Amino acid sequence: MMSKIAQYLNEHILGEVTSSKAVRQRFSQDASILTITPELVMFPRVTNDIRKAARFSWQLAEKGHVLPITTRGGGSDQTGAAIGRGIIVNTTAHLNNVIHLGLKDKDRFVHVQPGVNFKTLNDILNWHGLYVPAYPESAAYSTVGGAVANNAGGALSGRFGLVGDYVTRLEVVLANGDLIETTRLNKRDFSTKKGLQTFEGEIYRKLDGLIEDNQKIINDKLVGNERDNTGYGRLSQVKHRDGSFDLTPLFVGSQGTLGIISEIVLKTEYISKDQTIIVAVVDNDEVAHDAADTLRSLEPVMLETFDGELFNIAKARGKKYPFFNITESDATVGAIIYLQFSDFGDRARAHKLKKALKILAKYNASVVTSADHAIDELSAIREVMSSTFVLESEANSFPPLIDGAHIPSDRYADFIAAVAELAKKHHVKLPLRTRVLDSVVFARAALQLDKLADKQKMLKLINDYSQLVDKHNGIFVAESGEGRVKANAAYALLEDDVKQLYEQVRLSFDPFGTLNPGVKQPTELKTLVEALRSTYDLADFAEYSPHS
C-alpha cells in the first residue's frame, strides 16, 4: 500500500518519496530516547511538494484514513518531535537555501528555507559582520527550521533571547495544503483575513474568537510567561491591544503541530569577533552561583557555572584543562565559572576584565584568562560534557531527559540542594551546568536503557524533576519544546483551563490530527514505553560533537 502511495506522490512532485525500509529506518530516530519508524520519507524540492503531500494527507483523513506528516530538519530534536509514523518530510536535502540577505535594509534581515544549517547561516552572515545570536547549542548539525519549530535557546540566549525573538515572517503550509504568509497585520488587514472564505480565514476567525473568549486566562496565566515552551503559550503575543494580529509567534515553538514552515525571515545583529574569556575555579556550586550573581552586573555575553564533578570525571578520562595547573594535581574541582565578554572595543573589555577579577578575588577564586591562554583552549571548557557523557565501553548512556529547565535566580540555591536529594533518591548523579544569564539548567543521569528498572527510573525521574522545577517556581520546558518525551510531565503541571485552550488552538489548525500527532500533547504511557530505545547514543552527530 505504502509503495503505491509513494509512487503516486512521486508522479506529482519534483522531489522524491520512498518507502524503502533502509531509508525509513534511518529516519526512525532523532536525538531523543525514542524510536518510531515512518511509513514514507519525502525529500521535497520546492514548497509545492509539501503542499501536495499535505493536501493528500488531508484528503485521506477526510475519508477516515490518517496518514500524518512530521517535518524533520537535522534530526537533532531531543524530545522525539522529529520522528513519527506516516510521512517524514525531510528539509535538509533540498530546502536548504539562503534566499536573500537584506544587508541594505535598516533591519538587516535574512530570508532562508527551513533546511539551512544554522552554523552555515551564521558563517555566511559573519562575512558581513552579522549573525543571529540566538543560535542553539546544536547549531553545527541542526537547522534553522528546527530551531524555530522548537523556539530554541542557546549559549547567548541570556543576553539576546530565543530564536523566536528574531523571527519576523514565515511562510507556512497549512494542514490542508494551503500556503500562507505570516506577519503582523494591522486592524484593517486582519479584518480582511477574517473575511476570507478559505481555511486560512477560518483559522483567523476561530483564533480571534478563542482569544476573545479566553482573554482572562491569557492575561492571568500566559502573559509574561512566554519563556515556557509547553503547548502554545505564545498565543499571548498574537493579538495586540491596537487590534493588530500576527500568527508568527504561534508557529514558533509549535514543533510542526500547527503547520509546516517552508520559509523564514530572521532579524540579525552586528557581531563582535573579539572576545575576552575568564575561567574561575571556586569551592562549590553555591559559591559559584553567588559569584555569578554579582558578575551579571558586568553584562557579559556569556556566563555559565559547572558542577566540578563534570571536570573531575573528564580529568579521570585523561582530559586536561588550563585551570588544573593552578590547583593541586590530586585535588577535586568544586565548581567552575565561565565568563565571556564580546564588547566592541578593547578598552571596554579590558575594563570589564579588571572588574571581574576584582569580584572573583572576593570569592577566593583561582582564575585563568584569555590574556594568558588561547581563546580556543578556554572556550573548549564549555564542551566538558563531550568527555563526561561519552563512554567507550560501559553500558551506561546519558540521554537528554531533563535538560533545559528555567530556575529563578532567587530559588537556585534551594534548587541545588533539592536536586542533590533527588539524585540520592534515584541512586544517580546529577551534576548541573547552568546558563546563569537566563537561568537555564542542564542535568543528565547515567542510565542503562536495556534494563527495565532503568527505563522505569527514567520515566519517574522526568516526572519527579518536573515537579521539583515547578516547586521552585521554575519552567520545566524552557529551552525547546516538550515533544513526546517531556509532554506528560509538562502537561501535568498545567491547569485544566490552559490545557483546554491549547487543545482548541491545535484543533483550529489541525482538525483531522494529521500534523505530528503525539507531539505537544499527553501520550499514553504504554505508547511511550513501546517507543523507548534499548540503547542511546548520538553516533549520527559524532562528527560534530558527541554530547549535544
Please give the backbone phi and psi of residue 88, each rounded to the nearest 5 degrees, phi first: -90, 125
CA angle 335, 340, 342 (to 5 degrees): 175
Was domain 2-94+535-541 assigned CATH 3.30.43.10? yes
507-537 pLDDT per residue, tens: 999 999 999 999 999 999 889 989 998 887 6
For residues 69-87, give the mean pLDDT. Answer: 96
Are 85 and 154 in contact by the 8 Å Cβ rule? The answer is no
What pTM was computed for the model?
0.94
Per-residue confidence at 317, pLDDT binned at 50, 70, 90? Answer: confident
- Nine cell digits for residue 254: 509549535
Q: CATH top-level class for 276-369?
A: alpha beta
Cα distances (Å, whole numbers) of residue 302 to 155, 247, 315, 415, 462: 7, 31, 24, 22, 28
The overall average pLDDT reported for the chain is 92
Q: How far apart are CA 529 and CA 510, in angstroms?
A: 26
Q: How far apart are CA 235 and CA 248, in angstroms?
A: 10
Give me the residue label for grid cell 520546492: 46
CATH number of 98-270: 3.30.465.10
Q: How far apart are CA 432 and CA 292, in angstroms?
A: 15
pLDDT at 548: 43
349-407 pLDDT per residue, tens: 999 999 999 999 999 999 999 998 999 989 888 888 776 666 545 667 788 899 999 99
For residues 480-499, give the mean pLDDT. Answer: 96
DSSP 260-283: EEEEEEEE-EE-----EEEEEEES
pLDDT at 543: 54
Residue among 172, 155, 126 at smallest CA distance from 268? 126
Q: By three-state DSSP, how is residue 495 classified?
A: coil
Q: How far apart are CA 224 and CA 298, in angstroms?
A: 25
Q: How far apart are CA 134 and CA 379, in angstroms?
A: 18
For residues 183-191, give the mean pLDDT. Answer: 96
Q: How far apart are CA 289 and CA 448, in angstroms?
A: 32
Percent share of the chain, pLDDT over 70: 95
- Nine cell digits for residue 452: 527495565
Q: Which helix (H) or strand (E) holds 335?
A: strand 335-341
pLDDT at 338: 96
Start and end residues for every CATH 3.30.43.10 domain found in the chain: 2-94+535-541
Q: Which helix (H) or strand (E) holds 234?
A: none
The more confident residue out of 218 and 315 is 218
Q: By three-state DSSP, how is residue 436 classified?
A: coil
Using only C-alpha atoms, the chain has a radius of gyration, in whole angstroms, of 23
- Nine cell digits for residue 348: 571596554
DSSP 44-97: -SSHHHHHHHHHHHHHHHHTT----EEEESSS--SSS-S--SSEEEE-TTT---
CA angle 245, 247, 251 (to 5 degrees): 160
Q: How far apart are CA 429 and CA 166, in angstroms?
A: 37
Per-residue confidence at 125, pLDDT binned at 50, 70, 90? Answer: very high
How many Cβ atoms from other residues are within 10 Å of residue 127's Cβ?
8
Residue among 361, 366, 359 at smallest CA distance from 294? 359
pLDDT of 546 over the 90 cut: no
pLDDT at 294: 96
29-61 pLDDT per residue, tens: 999 999 999 999 999 999 999 999 999 999 999
Start and end residues for every CATH 3.30.70.3450 domain found in the chain: 276-369
Start and end residues for every CATH 3.30.465.10 domain found in the chain: 98-270
Residues whose CB falls within 8 Å of the CB of residue 231, separated by 6 or more in sequence, listed in order: 482, 490, 491, 494, 498, 499, 502, 505, 520
197-241 pLDDT per residue, tens: 999 999 999 999 999 999 999 999 999 888 899 999 999 999 999
pLDDT at 394: 60
pLDDT of 328 over the 70 cut: no
Per-residue confidence at 1, pLDDT binned at 50, 70, 90? Answer: confident
- Nine cell digits for residue 514: 494529521
Are 514 and 66 in contact by the 8 Å Cβ rule? The answer is yes
Q: Which amino acid is at 348?
A: A
Q: How far apart are CA 7 and CA 526, in angstroms?
A: 34
Are 473 and 224 in contact by the 8 Å Cβ rule? The answer is no
- Nine cell digits for residue 230: 509547553
For residues 71-78, give the mean pLDDT. Answer: 95
